[in-house]
Amino acid sequence: MCKKENPIPGKIIAVTNRSLCERPFLEQIKRVCETKPAALILREKDLPETEYEEMARQVLAICEEYGVICILHSYIETAKRLERQYVHLPLPLLRTCMQKTENEEKQIKFMSGNLSMDQKNKNKLILGCSVHSVEDAIEAEKLGASYLTAGHIFATDCKRGLPPRGMEFLKQVCETVNIPVYAIGGIGLNDGKIDSVCECGAAGACIMSAFMAI
């Protein structure tokens, strides 16, 4: 299957979790960006949106300094206020987002006619989505996701007690959808697993714990 063009030009996506950091969070972000991952997902979704937005401004400045794509998480309105295209969403939030977008577009068309292609492209978000089954992946693609993260693939302390979904699951997801898929869960920087997931058809891997301790 020929995949759509990948909006993330690289194999490795760093994912943040400030609770895993032993040093100040922004210092850790700088260390991560120095390694030049393709992108960084700012995943601090436990923060209220006002606090998340303030943190996002600081992290975006660091990412821009190092030429790393910063992907915001969960808060679409924050992304719009900060004029950022990249947002990663859990599947329930993607459903809500696309329903809201559809309703807004219908209203705009009713009030002022169809949007021009330039207007549509200008306002287009690049949406990632977390999936945990083949059915999730199919739905996320239909809803308009640009890429997926699928997991968890290997055993990880972040999902302690939950069995990993494994490589066969990853392969099935990659074979089923026509958008890039990134494996997540139990993947380190130098353990050979990035090559393994790419052999299953993944575009690359998301790595959290190793980056938060680098």
- Joined together, the tokens standing for residue 62 give 């660091």
Quick check: is 152 catalytic? yes
**Contacts within 8 Å (CB) and 24+ apart, 197-203:** 197/153, 197/167, 197/170, 198/11, 200/167, 200/170, 200/171, 200/174, 201/170, 201/171, 201/174, 201/175, 202/150, 202/170, 202/174, 203/3, 203/6, 203/8, 203/11, 203/147
Give the residue numbers annotated as catalytic, written as ranges: 152
